[in-house]
Amino acid sequence: MSAGPVHRGLVDRGLAIETEGLGKRFRGRDAVADVALAVPVGSVFGFLGPNGSGKTTTIRMLLGLVNPTSGSAALLGSAMPDRAESVLPRVGALVEGPGFAGYLSGAANLARLDSADPVADPRTRRRRIGEALERVGLSAAAGKRVKAYSLGMKQRLGIANALLRPRDLLVLDEPTNGLDPQGTREVRTLVRELAGEGTTVFVSSHLLAEIEQMCTHAAVMRTGRLVAQGTLDELRGAAADDRLHLLTPDPAEAIATLAAVGLSATVSGPEVVAPLGGRPVEEVVPLLVTAGIRVRGVRIAEASLEDRFVALTGEGFDVEG
């Protein structure tokens, strides 16, 4: 796959990951199609989508684990997979869960993997393994066989493996899978620390709450296609309109009055709810009062990332970590 125009000036434009028209077909079906990612250097970038939306296939293409059917990709300014040998030592990754030898300890597994890395310095191996295990909270379990690890501990060990050497880019596929709430918070803190040190972190997840608390930017996949990306504020700004929630003993009259000014309202429990369509609430409430509608209470539900993602994908996201 040639570098193509998508890669020229990548570093100058401040992108750690860039793709153009990236696609993969399996058995005549598009698993991923026409993906154009732009991941800024230094960002914590959330890659969101329901299960089966193509997130992991996209990640595998980025890392050169799967050859794309179409399009091009670059990591840290280098075309993939053409320049994988030179760029991948600068990239740490955890994809589709960690795979370790169960009969070896956590530390021994890391030593085995590090020794297979042609650019890893064997003189610093012991120190680096100790630091990586400490960073993910596994120092006490370093000598325990991995077959006795919980799923969450294996996830931590996978992240430790990605941190054995300094990385410019870290790619994590569902890094909080199997973690308890405390472990999830620790991974979240670790990601922020890494970003603060200058590492770009690309996090795939179906947990909306995790993306909101961890990330500066996000992209949304649906059925193999990229349907939105940008900063979290930009995505929130593109969300559905804020909604007026009106408590009134005159719901039918309120709905008719709102309809007369172009707002479509419905009854939801004790409230009349209407998307404001960008209209200031300060203009809408006086119209209701002038029309004789008895207003007992008014609140505004601001548009959220969840609103945006549901609108884009046609289905909800898990919002609990």
Asked whether the predicted pLDDT for residue 4 surpasses 50, the reply is no
End-to-end alpha-carbon separation of the chain, Å? Answer: 39
Chain-wide mean pLDDT for the chain? 86
> Quick one: tokens of 94?
């955890």
- What pLDDT is stored for residue 51 in this prediction? 80
Task: Reply yes or no on whether the pLDDT at 314 is more than 80.
Answer: no
Report the CATH number that the domain containing residue 286 is assigned in CATH.
3.30.70.100
Question: For residue 316, is pLDDT > 60?
Answer: no
131/41 same-domain check: yes
Same domain, 145 and 29: yes
The pLDDT-based confidence of 303 (bands split at 50, 70, 90) is low
Indicate the number of domains in the chain. Answer: 2
Q: What is the pLDDT of residue 14?
A: 84
Residues 230 and 256 in one domain: no
Instruction: For 61-106, give the DSSP string.
Output: HHTTSS--SEEEEEETTEEETTTHHHHGGGEEEE-SS----TTSBH
- Does residue 181 sit in the same domain as residue 267? no
Print the domain residue range for 294: 243-302
In a domain, residue 86? The reply is: yes
72 lies in a domain?
yes
Q: For residue 276, what pLDDT is reported? A: 82
pLDDT on residue 38: 96
On whether residue 318 sits in a domain, the answer given is: no
151 and 194 assigned to the same domain:
yes
CA distance 299 to 285: 11
6-10, 96-100, 316-320, range with greatest mean pLDDT: 96-100
210 and 276 housed in the same domain = no
Q: What is the pLDDT of residues 20-69, one digit of tens each?
A: 999 999 988 999 999 999 999 999 999 998 888 899 999 999 999 999 99
Structure token digits, residue 147? 């077959």
- pLDDT at site 186: 85
Whether residue 265 is predicted with pLDDT greater than 50 in this model: the reply is yes
- Three-class DSSP category at 27: coil
CATH number at residue 194: 3.40.50.300
Query: What number is the average pLDDT over the span 125-130?
Result: 96
What's the pLDDT at 321?
Answer: 36
In a domain, 295, yes or no: yes
Who's near 20: CB < 8 A, 6+ residues apart?
4, 5, 6, 36, 71, 72, 73
pTM: 0.76
Greatest extent of the chain over all pairs of C-alpha atoms, in Å = 82
Residue 319, domain member (yes or no): no
238-257 per-position pLDDT tens digit? 555 678 899 999 999 999 99
Confidence of residue 320 (pLDDT cuts 50, 70, 90): very low
> 38-40 and 15-26: which strand pairing?
antiparallel
* In contact, 187 and 15? CB cutoff 8 Å: no
